[in-house]
Each structure stands twice: as C-alpha cells, then as structure tokens.
Amino acid sequence: MGQANQGGGNHREVTAPAAARSSGVRTKLLLPFLLLCIALPTAAQTKKPTQPAAQDSIRDRAIKRCKENRGTDCESREGLREWMREETPLTKEQQQAAAAARRHREECKRIKNKPGC
C-alpha cells in the first residue's frame, strides 16, 4: 500500500489523507500565530495612558529640567510652576497666535520701515 510499481520505478506516493493531515497541522499552528502577530501591535497602539500618569510625567520632566538648569526650588509647586507651564501643550488658539506673531516678526524683518514693527 502506498507504493506504486508503474513504469518500473520505485517511488512512494503520499496518500491524500496523510498530506491533508500534515497540512492541517501546519495550518492549525500557523493561523493562531499570524492572528497573534496582527493583534498585539494593534492592541499596544490603542492603549491610552491614564491621566494621572500623564500628569506625573509632566511633573517629573519639569523637575528634571529645573535641576538641569540649576533651579533653586525644584520641589515645591510654586518653584515648578514655570517649568510645568513649558511642559503643557499649546491649545489651538495659542498655536494660531504664535504663528501670527512669527509671521509678523518675519514680515518686519523683511520690510525694515513697515509701520507697526
């Protein structure tokens, strides 16, 4: 069984059920692995940090920058106020105001005697 003597050659034929079994085992192992590889990066990207942890990191960064710049009071809330203000992101309105001021400075630099500069 499983061997054929046609044509005078001695070669083995693999029966269909044996081939299907080995293919099925590979598929059963490969499919979960592929799904896991796809799902893990997606889950990691969608996980959002909690708000208190984000606040702690802003404070930690403020303390670090204060100490690097030889600040005198790097532990109290009052001493860190300036450093923490620099760490907070700008609002949309603040970004627009900063862009307008930058354009105004560039225009004044380009045209020396422009009124309002």
**Which token pair is 19?**
């081939």
Confidence of residue 104 (pLDDT cuts 50, 70, 90): very high
The overall pTM is greater than 0.85: no
Cβ proximity of 117 and 108 under 8 Å: yes
Gyration radius from the chain CA atoms? 34
Distance between CA atoms of residues 93 and 99, nearest Å: 10
Tell me the sheet residues that pair with 3.
Answer: 12
- At residue 101, the 3 state secondary structure works out as helix
Tell me the pLDDT tens digit for each residue of 42-75: 666 665 555 555 556 778 888 888 888 887 888 8
